[in-house]
Amino acid sequence: MPYKEKAIVKVYYTVGEVATMFDVATSLLRFWESEFKQLKPKRDRKDRRQYTISDIAVIAHLYFLIKIKGFSLWGTQQHFKNQDNEQRTETVRRIFERVRQTGARLPEGA
């Protein structure tokens, strides 16, 4: 039986990697972190942000609402307050599918 290598899936992504995925500045991601309680990336010992796939899903949702739909920050905050987790998960799933179809750069595990 031949040896079969497993695909390496990253667990954590840096702020630079995530910014590159969405073609935004790292400062925008830091700003969104301060404005939206749903976005709280883990920090390492040196206080660097470590984004997980679920953090990236929240960013994808924010990006879709703010950059594509044109929501204001206040409108986006209200949208997050009014939307339950199940609806948010389904919305994020649709966003990821749309982004994949357009050929955008997403992490392997997303």
Contact present, 96 and 110 (Cβ < 8 Å): yes
pLDDT at 57: 87
- 62-80 pLDDT, tens digit per residue, is 998 898 889 999 998 888 8
Cα 44 to Cα 16: distance, rounded to the nearest angstrom: 15
- 83-94 pLDDT, tens digit per residue, is 766 666 777 777
Contact present, 109 and 10 (Cβ < 8 Å): yes
- 5-41 pLDDT, tens digit per residue, is 777 778 899 999 999 988 999 999 999 999 998 889 9
Q: Which helix (H) or strand (E) holds 92?
A: helix 85-102
Contact present, 56 and 108 (Cβ < 8 Å): no
Hey, what amino acid is at 69?
Answer: K
Question: Which domains does the chain possess?
Answer: 15-102 (1.10.1660)
Cα 51 to Cα 12: distance, rounded to the nearest angstrom: 5
**Could you give the percent of the chain with pLDDT greater than 90?**
38
